[in-house]
Amino acid sequence: MTKRSGFYEQVWAWVRGIPKGKVVTYGQVATALGTPRAARAVGYAMYSVCDEDIPWHRVINSKGQISLGGQLARPELQRQLLVQEGVQFDHQGRIELKVYQWWPESH
């Protein structure tokens, strides 16, 4: 296993713990894994998800928005999945982090 794929496995394992109807930021995941400057790498890990058990759609940017970059980006699907879980977007397409952001017990 390469260092990159090992990191992805750590990201995916952590993201599996995010409850329905909640979101976290890329930077939040990176910080939780002890690599606070690796938010972009977390984004790449989310774009690489192939397992339906990994709720990739619950990871958003620090502005409370769905990130649109990357060829595997699925912004419409991500929004649809979040709305199905009860997450609301404002008129600017933002999620109120004060309402929907999840913090693990150890935070």
Total domain count for the chain?
1
**Within a domain: residue 44?**
yes
CA atoms within 13 A on the CB side of 69: 7
DSSP-based three-state secondary structure for 59: strand
What pLDDT is stored for residue 105 in this prediction? 81
User: Which domain range does residue 34 map to?
Assistant: 3-100
**Within a domain: residue 48?**
yes
**Within a domain: residue 105?**
no
**Within a domain: residue 41?**
yes
What CATH number should be reported for the domain holding residue 77?
1.10.10.10
Cα-to-chain-centroid distance, residue 47: 10
Q: In order along the chain (107 residues), what is the average pLDDT of each group of 10 residues? A: 74 97 98 96 91 94 86 80 97 97 82
Assessment of whether the complete model's pTM goes beyond 0.75: yes
**Within a domain: residue 20?**
yes
**Within a domain: residue 22?**
yes
Helix (H) or strand (E) holding 83: helix 75-84
Q: How far apart are alpha carbons 96 and 104 in whole angstroms? A: 18
